[in-house]
């Protein structure tokens, strides 16, 4: 009986991958499979992989090898090992040739086929079973999702793929061109999540500001936000992965009108020097970026800003790096991620001359991170005495504190709010917390 067959799924990479994992879990559950957390108890193991950077590929391969060990009867019960996601999509032949323990491959456009692939593998079909194609239709399953986020919060993927063609990025090669989901499907999904107790929705795509341009002939993120703002039960709407050149006035005005839009700006800027931005094939200029930042802070004085930067891009000079350093110092971003440039095969940047030595990249990253940490510490200390609304996620390992996030902390990438409460709380509860201690990434407080 299928009910007796347990499946374990390991999800790697970004939030978009996490949504794909949740949809696969829903499909498997509907097909009658059991879901287990302990890989030692799983007869089927699925690794949903990321292949964005070399470090991500290394993590994926290591995880696949570790899961393959559960095929040993003295270690686990695994009969079938399946690789899904970006690595399966991009390196199908290499996986088949070099990882014989893999029984099936499921690309990013075939999440809906996961139960069928598991069936075929279990029934002794000619292995490996492969469901990989470059048919980049929108594959957002109608099946239910098994949420893996903390109670009260969920991601909604509003588009797939990317048309930006940044010179360093392999995402379009893996996930295809940009394609939006119909607005009515997104709104229907948000309503269903609200009925399930979700209070915070996080809109994600490779470029959320471009939402709707392919379906409706114009950007429609503002209209989408206004539709979501009307849904009962939803209290926070967070928009991630915005691009500065698409932050038009109508979008900013819609953000100011939407009562549930949290004042959190996530702009993956990557650099600020105009020459590097041009070589990166990034849209927009330093002047446009600075204009958006100033406008956002004018509209939302309490805003929290997050961004990410790449150091050591081919040809980056010390002067260009110093310009980036000064920019961060001037605009004092609340949250900053810094990454060393990684040459990705079949991208334009990988072919460029004047590749920066690894030790120079690491030194520049360390210098930026030290600056960003100092800014974050100062800003968190300035929060002491303020009262913020916090969504409860869990209890700390020592059992002393509840753990949650305010509007200023996005899930998975930012710090946490640790707090005490005289009354017992459940995951998903929204409470008011007075901040008592501010540290580099986290703050601590108490319910008031």
Question: Tens-of-pLDDT digits for all 448 residues of the chain?
Answer: 445 799 999 999 889 999 999 999 999 999 999 999 999 999 999 999 998 888 889 999 999 999 999 999 889 999 999 999 999 988 999 999 999 999 999 998 888 889 999 999 998 777 788 888 766 655 465 667 899 999 999 999 999 989 888 999 988 888 888 999 999 999 999 999 999 999 999 999 999 999 999 999 999 999 999 999 999 999 999 999 999 888 888 899 999 999 999 999 999 999 999 999 999 999 889 999 999 999 999 999 999 999 999 999 999 999 999 999 999 999 999 999 999 999 998 899 999 999 999 999 999 999 999 999 999 999 999 999 999 999 999 998 888 999 999 999 999 999 999 999 999 999 999 999 999 999 999 999 999 9
377 by DSSP, 3-state: which?
A: helix
Regarding beta strands 387-395 and 402-405, do their DSSP bridges make them parallel or antiparallel, or are they unpaired? antiparallel
Domains and CATH numbers, the chain: 2-131 (3.40.50.12160), 153-382 (3.80.30.20), 387-447 (2.40.50.140)
Other CB atoms closer than 10 Å to residue 160's CB: what's the count?
24
Provide φ and ψ at 395, rounded to 5°: -115, 140
Buried b (16+ CB within 10 A) or exposed e, 409-443: bbbeebbbbbbeeeeebebbbebebebeebeeebb
Please name the helix (run of DSSP H) or strand (run of DSSP E) that holds residue 447, with its range, or none. strand 443-447
* pLDDT at residue 143, as a whole number: 65
For residue 405, give the nearest of 262, 268, 301 by alpha carbon.
262
Query: Given its phi and psi angles, is residue 176 left (phi above 0), alpha (psi -120 to 50 degrees) or beta?
Result: left
Q: Give the integer Cα–Cα distance in Å for 59 and 52.
A: 11
Q: Give the integer Cα–Cα distance in Å for 395 and 420.
A: 10
* pLDDT at residue 245, as a whole number: 86
Nearest-5° Cα angle at 223, 221 to 227:
115
For residue 354, give the nearest of 412, 304, 315, 326 by alpha carbon.
315
User: What's 414's DSSP letter?
Assistant: S
Q: Give the integer Cα–Cα distance in Å for 266 and 293.
A: 11
Regarding beta strands 387-395 and 304-311, do their DSSP bridges make them parallel or antiparallel, or are they unpaired? unpaired
- Token couple for 145: 């999702």
Label residue 141 exposed, middle or buried (CB < 10 Å: 0-12, 13-18, 19+).
Answer: middle
420 by DSSP, 3-state: which?
A: strand
* pLDDT at residue 142, as a whole number: 61
Q: Answer for the pair 109, 79: CB distance below 8 angstroms, yes or no.
A: no
Q: What angle, 0 to 180 degrees and rounded to 10, lies between the N-to-C axes of helices 358-382 and 318-331?
A: 10
For residue 140, give the nearest of 118, 123, 155 by alpha carbon.
155
Report in angstroms the alpha-carbon separations of 106 from 8, 29, 83, 447: 15, 17, 6, 46
Q: If you count them, how many residues does the chain have?
A: 448
Please name the helix (run of DSSP H) or strand (run of DSSP E) that holds residue 193, with its range, or none. helix 183-195
Pure H helices in 248-357: 249-257, 274-279, 286-299, 318-331
Regarding beta strands 6-11 and 44-49, do their DSSP bridges make them parallel or antiparallel, or are they unpaired? parallel
* pLDDT at residue 3, as a whole number: 56
Pure H helices in 32-133: 54-68, 86-90, 92-98, 114-122
Q: Give the integer Cα–Cα distance in Å for 284 and 198.
A: 35
Nearest-5° Cα angle at 284, 283 to 288:
165
User: In the block, which residue shows the tokens 């090992």?
Assistant: 81
Regarding beta strands 129-131 and 200-204, do their DSSP bridges make them parallel or antiparallel, or are they unpaired? unpaired
């Amino acid at each position: 009986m299928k009910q007796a067959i347990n499946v374990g799924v390991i999800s790697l990479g970004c939030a978009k991958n996490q949504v794909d994992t949740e949809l696969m879990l829903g499909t498997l559950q509907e097909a009658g499979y059991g879901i287990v957390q302990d890989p030692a108890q799983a007869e089927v193991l699925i690794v949903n992989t990321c292949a964005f950077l070399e470090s991500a590929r290394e993590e994926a391969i290591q995880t696949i090898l570790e899961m393959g060990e559960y095929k040993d009867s003295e270690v686990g019960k695994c009969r079938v090992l399946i690789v899904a996601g970006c690595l399966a999509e991009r390196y199908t032949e290499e996986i088949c040739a070099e990882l014989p323990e893999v029984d099936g491959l499921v690309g990013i456009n075939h999440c809906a086929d996961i139960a069928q692939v598991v069936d075929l593998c279990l029934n002794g079909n000619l292995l490996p079973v492969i469901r990989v194609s470059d048919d980049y239709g929108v594959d957002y399953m109608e099946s239910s999702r098994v949420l893996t986020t903390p109670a009260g919060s969920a991601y909604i993927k509003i588009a797939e793929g990317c048309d930006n063609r940044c010179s360093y990025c392999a995402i379009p090669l893996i996930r295809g061109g940009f394609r939006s989901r119909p607005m009515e499907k997104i709104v229907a999904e948000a309503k269903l999540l609200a009925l399930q107790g979700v209070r915070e929705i996080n809109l994600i795509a490779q470029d959320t500001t471009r939402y709707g341009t392919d379906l409706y002939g114009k950007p429609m993120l503002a209209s989408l936000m206004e539709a979501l703002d009307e849904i009962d039960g939803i209290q926070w709407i967070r928009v991630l992965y915005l691009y500065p050149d698409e932050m038009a006035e109508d979008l900013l005005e819609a953000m100011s009108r939407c009562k549930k839009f949290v004042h959190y700006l996530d702009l993956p800027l990557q650099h600020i020097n105009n020459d590097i931005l041009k070589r990166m094939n990034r849209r927009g200029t330093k002047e446009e970026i600075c204009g958006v930042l100033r406008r956002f802070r004018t509209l939302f004085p309490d805003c929290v800003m997050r961004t990410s930067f790449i150091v050591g891009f081919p040809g980056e000079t010390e002067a260009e790096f110093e310009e980036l350093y000064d920019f961060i110092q001037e605009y004092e971003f609340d949250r900053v991620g810094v990454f060393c440039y990684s040459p990705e095969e079949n991208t334009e940047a990988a072919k460029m001359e004047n590749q920066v030595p690894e030790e120079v990249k690491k030194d520049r990253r360390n210098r930026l991170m030290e600056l960003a940490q100092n800014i974050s510490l100062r800003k968190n200390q300035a929060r002491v005495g303020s009262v913020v609304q916090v969504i409860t996620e869990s209890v700390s390992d020592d059992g002393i504190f509840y753990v949650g996030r305010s509007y200023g902390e996005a899930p998975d990438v930012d710090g946490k709010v640790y707090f005490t409460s005289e009354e017992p709380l459940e995951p998903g509860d929204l409470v008011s917390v007075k901040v008592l201690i501010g540290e580099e990434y986290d703050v601590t407080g108490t319910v008031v």
